[in-house]
Structure 1
Amino acid sequence: MHPSRRRATTLLFGSALALGGLTATGCGATADAATAPRTRRSTPPPPDRRVPLHGAVNCRDLGGYRTEDGKQLRYGRLFRSDSLAKLTPEDVTAVGGLGLRTAIDMRVASEVSFDGADRLPTGLAVASLPIDDTGLFAAIQAAIATKDPVAQQRLLGDGKAEALMRDMYPTFVTNAANRAAFGTMLTRIADGDRLPLLFHCTSGKDRTGWLSYLLLRLLGVPHTTALEDYLLSNTLRHDADAAVRAQLKQAGMMQDPDLLIPLQEVRTAYLTAGLDRLHRDYGSIPRYLATGLGVDARTTARIRALLH
């Protein structure tokens, strides 16, 4: 494949595959997916939350949010991001300035093989804790590789792309290996010696978005604020994802690259699909954390003490 086409498809697959709940009886009301617009963009983050990098567009501090009882989450302790495989030397220096001790990569092996290993400052404890992508990476790769607009429409059009995303989120609840990996991440966050800590997937929106939402709700951040943080990926990724679609069209890979928009975005309906399954299986986020992820009350209390 020509280098420019490979780069375009690499960026696309990343956008499509980054896999990143609470009801009124638990930790907040589940949002109504029917009211979500096709594309929703949040207001930009404050300058003290986003980490500006050239090789990653969705890197940000989870600090600064207010909890329901008036506390403010500490800055500089916990960061979420998209892939760090394309960081420039200047980016690596900037990441080094965050004082990180730990980096957790949620990408599956095929993503790492395709896009490359993280580029990180020396001295970090690096962990691979992959969250299963339900075969989505391979499915999208196959669709793009056809270069056939009819086949691509058949595979991704008429709501099929949205269905792929909605079907993925419940596996954060039902897949035992996924639950174990998320539980391990939370346990490591509870270890103060591992902080500051950064976790990421490929686009930093679905798997990373799910974990970030759980953490914010665990810490007492209101549902509406946690949802806004989740949807913020649409704002931060908007220009880069649009450029990928333009590159794919120019390269002759896709006649209608807008078929990819549902895969590149986060949507309230996607998160809701995961939260609905969580409530169906566990009743509340605290029970999901305790029973599903094996995260006990002492661990959640340590997380609150470290991040409040």
Structure 2
Amino acid sequence: MSDAVNLPTRELPLDGGINFRDLGGYITEDDRQVVWRKIFRCGHLANLTTEDLDTLAALNVTAVHDFRRQDEQRRSPSQPVRASIYDDYEMSIGSMSKFWEYMAAEKLSSDSAHQLVVSSYRSCIDDVAPHYARLFQGLLTNDGAASVFHCSAGKDRTGLAAALILSALGVPRDVVVDDYLLTQEYFDSAGLIQLVEQHLRDAKVEYWERSWLMPYCGVHRDNIEAFFDGVESRYGSVMGYLNEGMGLSGEDLLRLKQLYLTE
């Protein structure tokens, strides 16, 4: 394993990694630090090289949580990470049905697409809660080792999971939002747009504009703020969501901090 991998850096330097980032290093409101090289967030694992797999093993990654649906897994099957794989989450944020409905009715625009995505973030809180509760339990039981959680691009389902983990650890909201927005730096949204355009061709769609696809292929501050707004409107606070919506006890959250924060 190279020195670059051992260094505490936001991006984990893997040849086949997609948006592969470490949640370590952030400072909490009580001046503790999220430990490095224990919790990783990323996109799909289909492009990992043999050397990448060796690196993850050397980092003691023993659990991989794959949020993707089965159709996504078939399109981009993961490389054989030497860890326990949890790949039956079958998770979504919102539905693409509105996208297709707007497309068919010629109501889709860059603004309407943006609003569809924002609305999905705001309204998904109850649907995603059991999935994220399961992830948190996985983090609590993976004592002393490292965990990876991911979706296809590592930005939406993964971004919300990271936001909740950092919030539970006491990282300030502005830092949590900034971490979500780092996908703008570390993810190739142009490649995803090309993939979506191929899906449109396969579906015999004759006309679209790339600006309509950008809200689905990138990240925007409005998205994560809409999620937090939905959480706080329904549960009063993120802590209320963790407790009531996700079923995490005070002991669970204390244990999470013991495992993933410096003393």
Q: TM-score, normalised by structure 1?
A: 0.72
Q: Do 1:78 and 1:195's aligned partners in 2 also have CA atoms closer than 8 Å?
A: no
- The question of whether the paired residues in 1 share the 8 Å contact of 2:92 and 2:157 is answered with no
Letter in 2 for 1:307: Y
Q: Which fold has the larger relative contact order, with Cα–Cα distance below 8 Å and residues 6 or more apart in sequence?
A: 1
- Does the aligned pair in 2 maintain the 1:101–1:194 contact within 8 Å? no
| Distance of aligned partners of 1:305 and 1:247 in 2 relative to their CA distance in 1, 3 Å threshold | closer
Q: Report the number of matched residues.
A: 249
Partner of 1:280, secondary structure, is helix
Aligned counterpart for 2:176 among listed residues 222, 226, 251 = 226
Q: Which moved more, 1:185-194 or 1:74-83?
A: 185-194
TM-score w.r.t. structure 2 length?
0.84
Q: What's the counterpart of residue 130 of structure 1?
A: 90
- Amino acid corresponding to residue 265 of structure 1 in structure 2: G
Q: Verify: 1:300 aligned to 2:253, yes or no.
A: yes
2:145 to 184, 195, 201: 195
Change (3 A) 1:185 1:246: closer
Query: Do the aligned residues in 1 keep the contact of 2:109 with 2:211 (CA within 8 Å)?
Result: no
Matches of 1:268 and 1:216, distance apart in 2? 17
Letter in 2 for 1:134: G
For residue 269 of structure 1, what is the aligned residue in structure 2? 222
Query: Aligned AA for 2:243?
Result: A
1:55-66 maps to which residues of 2 (within 5 A)?
55-66=16-27
Residue 110 of structure 1 aligns with which residue? 71
Task: Encode CA deviations 1:112-156: one digit per residue, 9 max, x unaligned.
Answer: 23x23321322x1111223224332x776x69xxxxxx9589364
Cross-structure match for 1:186 = 136
Per the alignment, in what secondary structure is the counterpart of residue 103 of structure 1? strand
Matched residues, percent identical? 27
Shift of 1:277: 1.2
Question: Is 1:210 aligned to residue 160 of structure 2?
Answer: yes
**Counterparts of 2:241 and 2:20, CA distance in 1:** 27
Residue aligning to 2:115: 163
Secondary structure in 2 matching 1:154: coil
